[in-house]
Amino acid sequence: MKIHYVTGRESQLCSSTVTQTWYAYRHIMLELARHFKVVVPDLRGLGDSDKPESGYDIYTVANDIYLLTQQLGYKSIRLLGMTLVHVAYAYMLRRIVMK
């Protein structure tokens, strides 16, 4: 599964909402990049990421984010999101990492 992402500087992962792409962060990325490496993925089905027929449940999307962090070699991240759904992502990511 290909996940498209845009990077900045030091390990701050911004997650788009289920209806937005990395482009929603284009202005804040510049400020964040002064202090962090910013990674803003397009979630599955959005932007330039793959658009599979299934896997749009919150657990699969959270796992996509986890796998991206592993692919990039991150041991820890700061997850920034625009909606309360991202609280759930952070919780699930923590559970996945602890397994």
CATH number of the domain within which 18 lies: 3.40.50.1820
Contacts of 77 (CB under 8 A, 6+ apart): 11, 12, 13, 39, 69
- The 10 Å CB-count burial string (b at 16+, else e) for 21-34 is bbeebeeebeebee
Q: How many domains does the chain have?
A: 1
Confidence of residue 85 (pLDDT cuts 50, 70, 90): low
Lowest-confidence pick of 28-32, 40-44, 95-99: 95-99
Containing structural domain, residue 80: 5-98
Confidence of residue 87 (pLDDT cuts 50, 70, 90): low
Nearest to 48, CA basis, from 3, 17, 10: 3
Strand arrangement, sheet containing 12-15: 5-7, 38-41, 12-15, 78-81
33-78 pLDDT tens trace: 888 888 888 888 988 999 999 988 777 888 888 888 889 888 777 7
